[in-house]
């Protein structure tokens, strides 16, 4: 790897850019991805500011605009690894280490996050919803989901699998949120099913898509934000 400085007078920020040599032994596609990742300003910023991933800035940007996270709230984070969203949530709701009000879940192993309780298990397991609510100690104020299915290389299959996670996350949120709570989940451009949108519009006061600047411009990812849960119908 070599470091290539920005050209003088280019107007770009004065940072060193990392170049991966073509003779590095990597496939060309892998070399380009690694080079882009290492030069990503959000990746560099996350390392400097101590966040687990660049994804933290997506939640920061959304919360700065919509004010979802407030001190004292209880939060569930689905697909939490490597922990960037848990870090942001714990800080903004002022969750304490001895009595965490943030619970994250992921089947991937991850380091502990101060102020958050982490369950290492698959959210799709039958007992996962009950375990989450039990760990949180009650109804959440906000359910977050940055889940995406592991890629297979088949674009349509990957799309459908991630959309399924979005739908399962939405069903979970509507089954556990307190009245007035919020739901934020990853989705894809043109990928949200009409049935899911109809269900969210029926159960929340406002529903819309958000594209934070921290999402790469070429990415098809969007975030679906549903605010002010109307509450579950009383069982007869």
CA dist., res. 102 & res. 111, Å (int): 15
Query: φ and ψ at 213, to 5 degrees?
Result: -65, -25
Which region, left, alpha or beta, applies to residue 137 given φ > 0 means left and ψ of -120 to 50 means alpha? left
Q: Is 122 annotated as a binding residue?
A: yes
CB within 8 Å of 46: residues ≥ 6 apart: 52, 53, 54, 56, 57, 84
- State yes or no: 98 annotated in a binding site: no
> Residues with catalytic annotation?
186
Instruction: Point out which residues pair with 144 in neighbouring strands.
Output: 77, 184
106 is in an annotated binding site: yes
Q: Annotated binding residues, as ranges?
A: 83, 85, 106, 122, 146
Q: Annotated binding residues for S-adenosyl-L-methionine, as ranges?
A: 83, 85, 106, 122, 146
């Amino acid at each position: 790897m070599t470091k290539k400085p920005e050209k003088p007078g280019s107007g770009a920020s004065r940072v060193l850019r990392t170049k991966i040599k073509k003779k590095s032994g990597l496939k060309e596609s892998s070399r380009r991805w690694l080079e882009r990742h290492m030069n990503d300003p959000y990746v560099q910023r996350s390392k400097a500011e101590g966040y687990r991933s660049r994804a933290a800035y997506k939640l920061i940007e959304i919360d700065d605009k919509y004010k979802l996270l407030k001190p004292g709230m209880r939060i569930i984070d689905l697909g939490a690894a490597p922990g960037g969203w848990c870090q942001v949530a714990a800080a903004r709701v002022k969750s304490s280490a001895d009595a965490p009000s943030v619970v994250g879940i992921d089947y991937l192993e991850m380091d502990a996050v101060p102020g958050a309780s982490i369950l290492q298990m698959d959210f799709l397991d039958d007992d996962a919803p009950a375990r989450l609510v039990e760990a949180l100690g009650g109804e959440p104020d906000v359910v977050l989901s940055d889940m995406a299915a592991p890629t297979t290389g088949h674009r349509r299959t990957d799309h459908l699998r991630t959309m399924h996670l979005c739908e399962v996350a939405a069903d979970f949120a509507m089954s556990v949120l307190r009245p007035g709570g919020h739901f934020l989940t990853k989705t894809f451009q043109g990928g949200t099913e009409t049935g899911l949108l109809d269900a969210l519009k029926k159960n929340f006061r406002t529903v819309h898509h958000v594209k934070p600047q921290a999402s790469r411009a070429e990415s098809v990812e969007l975030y679906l934000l549903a605010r002010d849960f109307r509450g579950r119908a009383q069982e007869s």
